[in-house]
Amino acid sequence: MEHVFEHVTPFVGYVYPNETDFPWSQLIVIYPYITGLVAGAFVISSLDHVFNIKSFAPISRFALLTALCFMIFAPTPLLFHLGQPTRAFNAVITPHWTSAMAAFGYVAGFYLCLLVLEVWFAFRADIVAMSKVRTGIMGKVYGWLSLGSDDLSEHALAIDHKVARILSMIGIPAACGLHGYVGFVFGSLKTREWWSSDLMPVIFLLSAVGSGVGLVIVLYVIVSKFRKTPIIDETMRGLLYVMFTGVAIVMVIEGLEILEMFYKAREGIETVRELIAGPIWVGMYIQWGMSVFALLTTSALLVLNVHGKRLVTWLFLSGLAMMIGVLAMRWNVVIGGQELSKTMKGLLTFTPELFGRESLFTVLIISICPYVALWLVTKLLPPWGEKIEPEGRAFDVHKLA
């Protein structure tokens, strides 16, 4: 069977035969990208739960569900990449504490459990209410989800809120660790100049927050248009502040990384120049072009104090640009680093397959799955505080007590 990594050809200089294999494909590109979306969405949900910033209250629960759905599919690219996916559990049952990759099973497992618990406490009142008004199979489903806890007194709801806040406080450093770990994996690889950087964990973490904020903005606008509900201006302004801060800091840190790399001018830096001007030039243009667009747009929105439809339109485009730019950055890092020979004497070019186990089609399907899961979960657990109507009588689930 033809292997995806056989589609490589020398580009410039020379490489050795054992350097013509690409161990990491585009599946490893979307793996840190999806985990980054998780971290960013969770940060948005925490701004209300932890810091009590009320402008984020209308989207905090939606952002929390977004983080959960994307986290469920975060390990999927790795499982497709493995020849024997069932062996992934070996890293958990036989821990290897000197391996950063082996630690991912524990980090991801802990974070997924934390998200599930926080979602349950954040939605427990809704689950109990729906278990009382829904009939048939869905009534039983909500009854099971309530886990036998049907107390909706003020004291019980206060405990739910307190526990959810504590879990969210734990989740903030956990989210930073989750995606900082991905950058650590690349930054600790000293054999490749393109990866070996002390700033790599910071860059991955900050860009993750930026892409996650962009995701929440895009989804919030689309869902609001679909539901025909007004987009809250105060919420969009809050997202604008976070987006501007994230884009500005990410661009500064990434610029410092490249400047430091060329300033040190270690052996092989000329090959890095050839890499930027050669195989990944398109990705670099997309990465920096989208980042500059997002920075200039958010800056203009802040300076001109834009509100209303213009704010929604331009912030939506900025969020979409940030998502595209961070995806290009992941490609430039993962694939670009492998296009550099280990001897730093030559370059390769990578041509992905369209169909197959590690193809662009597989990447597309995996990328769509979290959105489908989010649509289904929001049907099960509506995050917008809608009123439930049992037998034609409408009431707010949070006032059942």
Give the DSSP per-residue string, 23-52. SS-THHHHHHHHHHHHHHHHHHHHHHHTT-
What would the two tokens of residue 359 be?
Answer: 């193809």
pTM summary value: 0.87
User: C-alpha angle with apex 37: 36 to 42, nearest 5 degrees?
Assistant: 100
Please tell me the predicted confidence (pLDDT) of residue 25.
Answer: 84
Count how many Cα atoms sit within 13 Å of the Cα of residue 284 in the half-sphere of its side chain. 14
pLDDT value, residue 256: 86
Select 7-399's CATH number: 3.40.50.620, 1.20.1630.10, 3.30.365.10, 3.40.50.150: 1.20.1630.10
Per-residue confidence in pLDDT tens, the chain, 401 aa: 344 444 444 445 666 666 667 778 888 889 889 988 998 899 899 888 888 888 898 999 999 999 999 999 988 888 888 877 777 777 778 877 777 777 777 888 888 999 999 999 999 998 988 888 888 888 888 889 888 888 888 888 899 889 999 999 998 888 877 777 777 777 777 667 777 777 888 888 888 888 999 999 999 999 999 999 999 999 999 999 999 998 999 899 888 888 877 887 676 677 778 878 778 888 889 999 999 999 999 999 999 999 989 999 999 999 999 999 999 999 988 888 887 777 777 777 787 888 888 888 999 999 999 999 999 999 999 998 655 554 434 445 444 43
Domain residue spans of the chain? 7-399
Reduced to 3 DSSP states, what percent helix, strand and coil does the chain have, rounded to the nearest 5? 70, 5, 25
DSSP letter assigned to residue 346: E
C-alpha torsion sign, points 351, 357, 363, 365: positive
Strands 346-350, 8-13: pairing kind: antiparallel
pLDDT, residue 86, reads: 78
Q: What is the pLDDT of residue 392?
A: 38
Q: Could you tell me where the DSSP H helices lie in 9-135? A: 27-49, 57-73, 76-81, 90-93, 104-133
- Under 8 Å between Cβ of 15 and 134: no
